[in-house]
Chain A
């Protein structure tokens, strides 16, 4: 959710039940602007809120020249003091997925430990303890990366790839029509494409290279992962991700307004196949 449009966008996603306190909203308006100046971001987004047991983490994301690759995440407890998170790398993802289980605590100094008992050999009964440790910051960085990877959405045509390969905001995007917006295949994942390359050449030939360089939402598995609804007296289109409960994408048809926000507990919904 772009920081400039925060005050009216929050109303549009409020149908999911979580809204921001007036105090936090005011604090965000000033602190996100300061953040943009300090870190020299092109755009600053309010990414969302991860709710921990004791405290909530407010997450902001700054975008550079390439919207897809130049992303920096920051977190804060009070919307005023922001701390930079390290970028998520593959070894970090592995470390976190083994160590960190359960909910976020809300404590910045918490360290996740997970002891795994391993048997040495088949006959010996000696058990080794392997302790995996991960810091909260790593877990936050990895969670944000995974949520962005699996559930960040943009309407088709909102971003274009310029000839240098940079992904940028499409200033000519006027919004989807209502009939286009009612179909799930007008929406794309905002991440490095994974399923696009598996399409046949015939399908690829019909795509427009400047705007269709991302994965479609309809290629997601399981099929019912997205909930598409018109809310607010049919004014706003809301997409909710069922794999990460709390991820809400909004788009007002026939206007360039769109964005997404995650307000939830930062835990993947592994039981989705049972719940559909």
Chain B
């Protein structure tokens, strides 16, 4: 019998890849090495490998517990199956007073245009109602023009780059959160509130928050993503697109770098310059790209020439500039005398296979880990930013002073009933005198 041909033995790497090919539809091994691994690279199946992520997060000391993570995994699978999604990621969990929120970050295939149409319809209805009133009663119109509202960014850009779905408990239906507006981000920076766990709950605060808890949750998610989503340097590269009309290159898009080779874990744990932010910084205006609100006078030229002159006088506001995309963490500002990040290795005893862990000191609960070519961000916490020694709420504005009368308008107190009576009696007495003198005059004339 001839000896069977012996195939060359596969080494570890090849064995693993072969094994994965064999399995086909079944779940791959919890630990798979190979190409840079992040939920965004896997275009075929948007379901993230939560088991693998939770394994690494457990080493970092973060997580939800094995059973809870498994349930969250299944809930994410339910979400992916019910919607057509490009990518899906477990964003994290925000704790609330009555119940908690599990949050998934997704990138959908279709843009949501239905939401943008609805507010226009309500505005048209209001205009119809106003014109009816005008025809009936000519009420003097106030000349007050409220300051222009900063428009929200379109879905797919800036702070609204991803869609977010929340659920209270894995197994309950996923609810989509609305897009965030710059006004909501602005107010959420000034208030400090815990979440109750009900999406329709009002947010009572000063300054008043424009929206309910679902909007507040979305605004906090946007802020946390902008503040704590980091990746190893070199994992993402900025894609250079054609210049915009204004002559500034768009710095919004980035893509996975296929040549990324991973940074050794000890370097990642020691220096912060090996980590970069891959989410755009939110400017003080509330958007990621600055919008010049005073560009509108050009539309009003036809209406009023005087208005045009008045609006050209003030200087144009300076554009707000934030740190560009992919800036290293070593440039993060230090608030309240604490460094913004704490980095360490997950294990000092077995440092060969340890992973680098990054913990945010500003947003407590924001964690990131990196190991070779893999990394992930997660947030598990209360959803509030650290306020240092204490939070001082914004003070309401001082009340307006009363109008000081000038020559044309003076304020005089109303006459009391007694004054009115005396005046009436004086008038009657004066009239009687006049009549008496008239009769005397007449009698004189007669003679």
A residues contacting B by CB (< 8 A) are 10-12, 14-24, 51, 53-54, 78, 101-103, 224, 227, 229, 231-233, 240, 242, 245, 264-265, 270-271, 274-276
User: Is B249's CB within 8 Å of the partner chain A?
Assistant: no
Count of B interface residues, CB-CB < 8 Å: 48
Q: Which residues of B contact A12 (CB under 8 A)?
A: 65
Q: How far is the CB of B198 from chain A (nearest CB, A)?
A: 13
**Per-position 1/0 for B363-377, Cβ under 8 A of A:** 011000000000000
Which of B65, B98, B169: most chain A Cβ within 10 A? B65
The 5 closest A-B pairs by CB, nearest first: A17-B380, A14-B65, A271-B391, A227-B97, A275-B194
Main secondary structure of the interface of B (DSSP, over half): loop
Q: Which residues of B contact A21 (CB under 8 A)?
A: 58-61, 346-347
Q: Which residues of A contact B191 (CB under 8 A)?
A: 274
Which of B62, B100, B387: most chain A Cβ within 10 A? B100
**Once bound together, how far apart are the Cα atoms of A21 and B96, in whole Å?**
25
Instruction: Take A53-B339, A227-B97 as given contacts and tell me if A11 and B194 are in contact as well, using a CB distance cutoff of 8 Å.
Output: no
**Once bound together, how far apart are the Cα atoms of A57 and B80, in whole Å?**
40
Q: Which residues of A contact B347 (CB under 8 A)?
A: 21, 23
User: Is B67's CB within 8 Å of the partner chain A?
Assistant: yes
The closest CB in chain B to the CB of A56 belongs to B61
* Contact of A275 with B62 in the complex, beta carbons under 8 Å: no
**Once bound together, how far apart are the Cα atoms of A102 and B337, in whole Å?**
8
Q: How far is the CB of B440 from chain A (nearest CB, A)?
A: 81
User: Which of A17, A264, A271 contacts B387, CB < 8 Å?
Assistant: A271
* Contact of B381 with A17 in the complex, beta carbons under 8 Å: yes
Instruction: Take A53-B342, A233-B71 as given contacts and tell me if A19 and B337 are in contact as well, using a CB distance cutoff of 8 Å.
Output: no
- Show 7 A/B contacts (Cβ-Cβ < 8 Å), sorted by A: A12-B65, A17-B93, A18-B62, A20-B61, A53-B338, A53-B339, A275-B193
* Contact of B364 with A23 in the complex, beta carbons under 8 Å: no
* Contact of A271 with B63 in the complex, beta carbons under 8 Å: no
Instruction: Take A19-B61, A103-B338 as given contacts and tell me if A14 and B68 are in contact as well, using a CB distance cutoff of 8 Å.
Output: yes
* Contact of B95 with A240 in the complex, beta carbons under 8 Å: yes
The closest CB in chain B to the CB of A233 belongs to B71
* Contact of A17 with B365 in the complex, beta carbons under 8 Å: yes
Interface members, chain B 286-344 (any A CB < 8 Å): 336-339, 342
**Once bound together, how far apart are the Cα atoms of A275 and B390, in whole Å?**
12
User: Is B30's CB within 8 Å of the partner chain A?
Assistant: no
User: Which of B95, B364, B389, B393 contacts A102, CB < 8 Å?
Assistant: B389
**Once bound together, how far apart are the Cα atoms of A229 and B97, in whole Å?**
8
User: Is B349's CB within 8 Å of the partner chain A?
Assistant: yes
Supplied contacts A53-B342, A102-B336, A271-B192, 15 more A-B pairs, CB within 8 Å: A11-B65, A14-B63, A14-B64, A15-B68, A15-B100, A17-B63, A17-B64, A17-B365, A19-B62, A102-B389, A229-B100, A232-B65, A240-B95, A276-B97, A276-B193
**Once bound together, how far apart are the Cα atoms of A227 and B100, in whole Å?**
11
* Contact of A224 with B97 in the complex, beta carbons under 8 Å: yes
* Contact of B349 with A23 in the complex, beta carbons under 8 Å: yes
User: Which of A20, A22, A24, A271 contacts B390, CB < 8 Å?
Assistant: A271
Q: Which residues of B contact A232 (CB under 8 A)?
A: 65, 67-68
User: Is B99's CB within 8 Å of the partner chain A?
Assistant: yes
Q: Which residues of A contact B193 (CB under 8 A)?
A: 274-276
* Contact of B364 with A19 in the complex, beta carbons under 8 Å: no
Interface members, chain B 374-415 (any A CB < 8 Å): 380-382, 384, 387-391, 393
Q: How far is the CB of B53 from chain A (nearest CB, A)?
A: 14
User: Is B131's CB within 8 Å of the partner chain A?
Assistant: no
Instruction: Take A15-B64, A229-B99, A274-B193 as given contacts and tell me if A22 and B391 are in contact as well, using a CB distance cutoff of 8 Å.
Output: no
The closest CB in chain A to the CB of B60 belongs to A21
**Once bound together, how far apart are the Cα atoms of A274 and B390, in whole Å?**
11
Q: Which residues of A contact B393 (CB under 8 A)?
A: 274
Which of A12, A227, A240: most chain B Cβ within 10 A? A227
Q: How far is the CB of A250 from chain B (nearest CB, A)?
A: 11
Q: How far is the CB of A271 from chain B (nearest CB, A)?
A: 4
**Once bound together, how far apart are the Cα atoms of A240 and B66, in whole Å?**
20
Q: Which residues of A contact B6 (CB under 8 A)?
A: none
The closest CB in chain A to the CB of B97 belongs to A227
Q: Which residues of A contact B388 (CB under 8 A)?
A: 102
Which of B348, B359, B391, B393: most chain A Cβ within 10 A? B391
Q: Which residues of B contact A229 (CB under 8 A)?
A: 98-100
**Once bound together, how far apart are the Cα atoms of A224 and B196, in whole Å?**
11
User: Is B82's CB within 8 Å of the partner chain A?
Assistant: no
User: Is B361's CB within 8 Å of the partner chain A?
Assistant: yes
**Once bound together, how far apart are the Cα atoms of A100 and B342, in whole Å?**
20
**Once bound together, how far apart are the Cα atoms of A120 and B348, in whole Å?**
53
* Contact of A102 with B387 in the complex, beta carbons under 8 Å: no
Q: Which residues of A contact B348 (CB under 8 A)?
A: 78
The closest CB in chain B to the CB of A20 belongs to B61
Q: Which residues of B contact A231 (CB under 8 A)?
A: 68, 100
The closest CB in chain A to the CB of B378 belongs to A17
* Contact of A242 with B58 in the complex, beta carbons under 8 Å: no
User: Is B443's CB within 8 Å of the partner chain A?
Assistant: no
Q: Which residues of B contact A10 (CB under 8 A)?
A: 65
Q: Which residues of B contact A240 (CB under 8 A)?
A: 95
Q: Which residues of A contact B122 (CB under 8 A)?
A: none
Q: Which residues of A contact B364 (CB under 8 A)?
A: 245, 264-265
Q: Which residues of B contact A271 (CB under 8 A)?
A: 192, 387, 390-391
Q: How far is the CB of B330 from chain A (nearest CB, A)?
A: 16
Which of A10, A20, A21, A242: most chain B Cβ within 10 A? A21
**Once bound together, how far apart are the Cα atoms of A264 and B65, in whole Å?**
17
* Contact of B63 with A54 in the complex, beta carbons under 8 Å: no
